[in-house]
Amino acid sequence: MDISADKKIDALRRMWLIRFFEEAAIRLYGERHYRGSTHPYIAQEATALGVCAVLQPKDLVLATYRGHGAAIAKGVDPRRMMAELLGKATGLCGGKGGSMHMSQVDLGFVGSNAIVSGHIGIAGGMALAHQLDNDGVVTVCFFGDGASCEGVFYETLNMAQLWKLPLVLVVENNEYAISTHYTQSISVPFISQRAQGFGLPGVTIDGRNFDAVAQTASEAVERARRGDGPTLIEAKTVRWSRHSAVAAGGAGSAAADRWKETDPIPRFRAELISAGVLDEAEAVELEQAARVEIEGAVEFALASPYPELSALTEDIYA
Ligand SMILES: Cc1ncc(C[n+]2csc(CCOP(=O)(O)OP(=O)(O)O)c2C)c(N)n1
């Protein structure tokens, strides 16, 4: 696995896009520009970028409601995402999906899903479809530590290994499922150990380390592509202060800001500078350009119209 300098710079750029997108999403929620909720991917950026850096455009990604990061990592336009968040007609899904139901299939971003673990079974089904088509497409499914306690996770591991499906399961262990710490709900120290019961490889890595994520994902994706079956990757992260923009699951103590100590973005930035991939001035410029791009996305979303009433009966399956 060899990731080019350009690809690494683009990964850093997208980490900033995700961070600024999420900060703007929290602010706009507080200002009541949209309803419902939003689940920030802050502090987990290196995992989505590390995995997506080794995917081909045709490969598929499924994510949870905490899915803005995976979408931007797979190449989705933040402007259309911001408009979707605000329920605008120019949004990715015409403003009908909102924060938790974004999708752009032509980019391989199958979508985000509000049902905890609901998309794990769907990912297994998509991997089966592509195995039958024999088209070399690999399906990647991101989900949380809490989702790994749901029955469909085990059913999918079993059938995916039995049928050697081209599937990569990435459990982002950000330590909390709302307010439940994973040590209160998971009987083994590492979620990756759960793969052993089904006979597939399971590995735990530092999800804040871009290179470690990319290396491990590359092996899992190649294994899936050559027909050797699924891999379970546990990417360890530390969740941002709260579960969502609605303050549920706030740690309410010094623990809330613990993510800052392990923030993947300054770390990746420093690594690229010390490796000579970019210099300090270029890094400042890259960050500023990402900030300006997200400010533009906010302006675009705010200025966009809401859908026409007639759109209500479009996109309906009956
Ligand atoms: C089937 C189902 N049960 C419960 C919920 C409510 N719920 C939303 S997020 C969440 C926590 C999930 O935590 P985890 O899987 O660790 O992911 P994280 O939010 O930390 O990314 C719960 C219980 C839901 N959306 N779907």
What string of DSSP letters covers 166-221? SEEEEEEE-SEETTEEGGGT-SSS-GGGGGGGGTS-EEEEETT-HHHHHHHHHHHH
How far, in Å, CA of 166 to CA of 223, rounded?
Answer: 8
How many domains are contained in the chain?
A: 1
Q: What is the pLDDT of residue 257?
A: 82
Among left, alpha and beta (phi > 0; psi -120 to 50; other), residue 135 is alpha
Distance 88 CA to ligand 1 centre (A): 26
Structural domain range at position 263: 5-298
Where the chain has pLDDT below 70, the residues are 247-255
CATH number, residue 45:
3.40.50.970
Query: What distance in angstroms lies between residue 17's CA and the mean position of ligand 1's atoms?
Result: 25
> What is the pLDDT at residue 245?
86
Closest CA to 147 of 194, 84, 106: 194
Distance 10 CA to ligand 1 centre (A): 30
Residue-level pLDDT at 291: 98
Dihedral sign for Cα atoms in the order 309, 315, 317, 318: positive
The three-state DSSP-derived secondary structure of 33-72 is: CCCCCCCCCCCCHHHHHHHHCCCCCCCEEEEECCCHHHHH
Q: Is residue 201 part of a domain?
A: yes
In a domain, 313, yes or no: no
| 202 domain-assigned | yes
How far does the centroid of ligand 1 lie from the alpha carbon of residue 147, in Å? 7
Amino acid at 252: G
Distance 77 CA to ligand 1 centre (A): 26
Instruction: For a ligand 1 pocket test, name from 47, 172, 178 the mutation site with the most ligand atoms within 8 angstroms of its C-beta.
Output: 178
14 is a domain residue = yes
**pLDDT of res. 303:** 98
Residue 143, H or E segment: strand 139-144
Determine the pLDDT at residue 246: 78
Q: Is residue 230 part of a domain?
A: yes
Whether 318 is in a domain gets the answer: no
> Would you state the pLDDT for residue 318?
78
The answer to whether residue 123 sits within a structural domain is yes
pLDDT of residue 256: 74
What pLDDT does residue 250 have?
60
pLDDT at residue number 251: 58
Residue nearest to atom 17 of ligand 1 (CA): 144
Instruction: Give per-residue pLDDT as tens, 238-269.
Output: 999 889 987 666 656 666 788 899 999 999 99
Lining ligand 1 with CB less than 6 A are 64, 66, 114-116, 144-147, 174, 176-178, 239, 243
| CA 138/CA 74 separation, integer angstroms | 14
CB 174 within 8 A of CB 239: yes
Please indicate, yes or no, if residue 207 is contained in any of the structural domains. yes
Nearest residue by C-alpha to atom 13 in ligand 1:
177
**What does the block give as tokens for 297?**
């996305």
